[in-house]
Amino acid sequence: MTVPFSWIRPEPHGIYIAPADAWVDPSRPVSRALVTHGHADHARGGHEATLATPETLAIMELRYQTREGALPVSYGETMRLPGNVQATFIPAGHVLGSAQVLLEHAGERVVITGDYKRRHDPTCPPFEVTGCDVFITEATFGLPLFTHPPIQHEIGKLLDRLAAEPERCVLVGAYALGKAQRVIAELRAAGHNDTIWLHGAMERMCRLYEEHGVPLGDLRLVSDAPSKDALRGHVAICPPSALNDRWSRRLPDPVTAMASGWMMVRQRARQRGVELPLVISDHADWHELTTTIAEVNPSETWITHGREDALLRWCELHQRKAHALALVGYEDEDD
């Protein structure tokens, strides 16, 4: 018998499935890529063949202007890859189209989570716990201090601030893919039906979400606003990089908000000049990470991108076999 799990190995530029000559979330062009979701650190262009959910492929097409080699795989559908490898895409609850990848070969099951969360998200189906031998988990918020509050609480903070300072606008820095649409959808769910103003970089992704059945209500571009006054008392959303940029000068004295799991830490928020921190993350917090490992109950846990050390320590304290993978290029400073 061969060495267990020797058919799958972490390389600096992705996880390599040797018998299928395929890569999961490779950070450089390859012949066959399995892509968990559309964020740029996971979905690169230029592969000869790309297996991903239809939503993820649509996002990649929007970003890279090409569908070449796109092979859509629906949630729950099993694909046969060369070398007797089977791949199944399972909801990860991270963003629209996000998936875990279940790989089966020689009687061994490996789940690669990509990025995931366990909280409710109106823009994508929830994470499904899938039993396996090796569980390869992300660890972006892998420190015990990260406890993401209920999103309704954070949305409430945003709406309270809007009401308290009606002469200003609240400018929310949020990832253009996923976070922005989730914040908008949750604002709508909380009964906020006013126009929400967008930075130009948000527009096409929001439209894509709507085409995939996620209604976002009345959205308009800041650049189309008739005057600064039209934005007073309104929510505007931009990518985090635009928060303190020249772009924001066109807004009426904006309250600088940021929707990110990092906002849990006061000095992080201060460093970015954030006045209204909204602890909203599309990643699993510490409790979600540890309970997911316990529920999946794998014989081995491999930990990647994030604060591997602490999650590794938790596995050690709970007598779970685990090790950290040294993959490059996955870091989520803005989530």
Partner 1 sequence: MERFAALLDALVYTISRNRKLALIADYLRETPDPDRGWALAALTGGLDFPAVKSGTVRALMMERIDPVLWTLSRDFVGDTAETASLLWPAPAQAPAPPSVSEAVALLSAMTRKSVAAELAALLDRLDATGRFALLKLATGGMRIGVSSRLAKTAFAQAFAVDVEQVEEYWHGLAPPYPELFAWAAHGAPPPDIDNLPTFRPFMLAHPLEDGTVDLADYAAEWKWDGIRVQLVRAGEQTRIYSRSGDDISATFPELLDALPFPAVLDGELLVRGAHQGGKTGGAASFNALQQRLGRKTVSKAMLAEFPAFVRLYDALIVEGTDLRSLGWAKRRAALEALIPRLPGTRFDLSEVVEARDFDHLAEIRAGARDEAIEGLMLKRRDSPYIAGRKVGLWYKWKRDPLLVDCVLMYAQRGSGKRSSFYSDYTFGCWDGDPDNGAELLPVGKAYSGFTDEELKRLDRLVRQTTVNRFGPVREVERTLVFEVAFDSVHESKRHKSGLAMRFPRIHRIRWDKPVHEADRIEALRALIHQSDRPD
Cβ closest to partner 1, residue 17 vs residue 276: 276
- Smallest distance from partner 1 to CB 171, Å: 12
Within 13 Å of residue 7, how many CA atoms lie on the same side as its CB?
A: 21
Question: What DSSP designation does 63 have?
Answer: H
- Smallest distance from partner 1 to CB 192, Å: 22
What distance in Å separates the CA atoms of residue 300 and residue 323, rounded to the nearest whole number? 8
Cβ closest to partner 1, residue 26 vs residue 261: 261
Hey, what long-range contacts does 264-271 have (CB within 8 A, 24 or more apart)? Answer: 264/145, 264/146, 264/147, 264/148, 265/145
Cβ closest to partner 1, residue 204 vs residue 313: 313
Distance of CA 202 to the CA centre of its chain: 16
Cβ closest to partner 1, residue 129 vs residue 265: 265
Q: How many residues does the chain have?
A: 335
- Smallest distance from partner 1 to CB 232, Å: 17
Cβ closest to partner 1, residue 163 vs residue 249: 249
Cβ closest to partner 1, residue 40 vs residue 265: 265
- Smallest distance from partner 1 to CB 206, Å: 25
- Smallest distance from partner 1 to CB 246, Å: 6
Residues that bind partner 1 (CB under 8 A): 143-145, 147, 244-246, 248-249, 264-267, 269-270, 273-277, 307, 309-310, 313-314, 317
Q: What is the widest separation between alpha-carbon atoms in the chain?
A: 72
Cβ closest to partner 1, residue 25 vs residue 332: 332
- Smallest distance from partner 1 to CB 267, Å: 6
- Smallest distance from partner 1 to CB 301, Å: 16
Phi, psi of 37 (to 5 degrees): -165, 175
Phi, psi of 279 (to 5 degrees): -80, 85
Q: How would you class 319 by CB atoms within 10 Å of its CB: exposed for 0-12, middle for 13-18, buried for 19 or more?
A: exposed
329: Cβ–Cβ under 8 A, 6 or more apart, which residues? 13, 27, 41
Question: What DSSP designation does 246 have?
Answer: G
